[in-house]
Amino acid sequence: MTNFEAIVLGLLQGATEFLPISSSGHLILAERFFGIEATLSFDVFLHLGTLLAVLLYFRTDWWRMVRLRDPLDRRLLFFLVLATIPGALAGFFLESMVESHFREPGRVAFMLAFMSLPLVLAEVLGSRKHLLPSLKLPQALAIGCAQALAVIPGTSRSGITMATGLLVGLTREEAARFSFLLSAPIVAGAGLYETLKLFKHGETLILPYFSGFLAAFISGYLVIAWLLHFLRKHTFYPFVVYRLILAGVVYALF
C-alpha cells in the first residue's frame, strides 16, 4: 500500500464513519475498485483515528461524564455502557461469518439500499421532540441493539443508530450526538481486540498506517462538526438518495 492510498482510505473512513452511508461498505468498495490490499492492522489504525476524533470533539462531554458529579451525566455514561453491549457481542460472535459472507460488493450494495428504509421511517415516524437528558434506558438499549446490526457492511453504524434515535423521539442533532458518543466504546474495544491480535501475529507498522490514522482523524473530526450543524435544519433524505444511487452504481459495475 502506498502512502497516497493510505491517505485516501483514511479520509474515506473518517468521513463515512459518521455519515449514515456505511464506512465499512465504502472501504470494501474502494479497496475492490482500486485494487488496494488493506491489512487488518491498517483497518485498526483507521478506526483508532475516528475514535480520537470522537474523544477530542466531545472532550467536554466525556470530561463531565467521567467526573461523575452530575446525575444526568452519570446516567448518560451508564446508558452508553449498557447500549454498547449488544454491538460488542455481535462483533465478537459474528465477525467470522460476516467476513466470509457479507463482504462481496453485491451484498454491500443490497444493504446500502435496504438499510435506507430505517432512515426514511425515522423521518416519517419520529417525533423529534426530545433531548438526551430525557432519554430512558429502554430507548438507549434500543439504539444499542440497532448498533449490533452494523456488523454487516453496508448497514452503517451511524445511520442505524441515528435512525433509531429519531424513532424513540430524539431530535436529529441529539440522535447524532448519542450515536457519535456510542461509537467510542465499541471502536475502542474493537481497536484493543484487534491490536492484541496484531501483536500475536507479529505484524509490523509502516508509515502509511500513520498517514491513514491522521487522515481518518482529521476528516472524522470535520465531518462530526459539519453533520451536527447540518442536521439542525435538514433531513436524512439526501443520504438516502446517495445510498440508493451508490447501490445502483455498484450493481452496474460489479
Identify which has the larger pLDDT, 219 or 95: 219
Q: Identify residue 57 by its one-letter amino acid code.
A: Y
Instruction: Report the first-to-last Cα separation within the chain, whole angstroms.
Output: 23
* Number of CB atoms found within 10 A of residue 203's CB: 15
**pLDDT attached to residue 40:** 62
- Torsion sign across C-alpha atoms 37, 254, 117, 236: positive
Domain boundaries, the chain: 3-253
pLDDT at 87 over 90: yes
The pLDDT tens digits for 133-161 are 999 999 999 999 999 999 999 999 999 99
- pLDDT, mean over the chain: 91
Lowest mean pLDDT among 116-125, 162-171, 201-210: 201-210
How far, in Å, CA of 77 to CA of 65, rounded?
Answer: 6
pLDDT at 245 over 80: yes
Query: How many Cα atoms within 13 Å fall on the side-chain side of residue 131?
Result: 3
Measured at the CA of 100, the angle between CA 47 and CA 157, to 5 degrees, comes to 35
Percent pLDDT > 70 in the chain is 96
Q: Which residue has the cell 509490523?
A: 204
How far, in Å, CA of 82 to CA of 179, rounded?
Answer: 14
**pLDDT attached to residue 204:** 60
Q: Identify residue 44 by its one-letter amino acid code.
A: V
The pLDDT tens digits for 101-126 are 888 899 999 999 999 999 999 999 99
* Number of CB atoms found within 10 A of residue 5's CB: 20
Residue 203's SS3 state is coil
* Number of CB atoms found within 10 A of residue 144's CB: 23
**pLDDT attached to residue 72:** 94
What's the Rg (C-alpha) of the chain? 17
* Neighbouring-strand partners of residue 170: 130
Q: What is the mean pLDDT of residues 163-192?
A: 94
**pLDDT attached to residue 205:** 59
The pLDDT tens digits for 11-34 are 999 999 999 999 989 988 888 888
pLDDT at 202 over 70: no
* Neighbouring-strand partners of residue 130: 170
**pLDDT attached to residue 191:** 78
Residue 107's SS3 state is helix
Query: Closest by alpha carbon to 172, among 72, 116, 97, 180?
Result: 180
Task: Answer for the pair 220, 14: CB distance below 8 angstroms, yes or no.
Answer: yes
pLDDT at 37 over 80: no
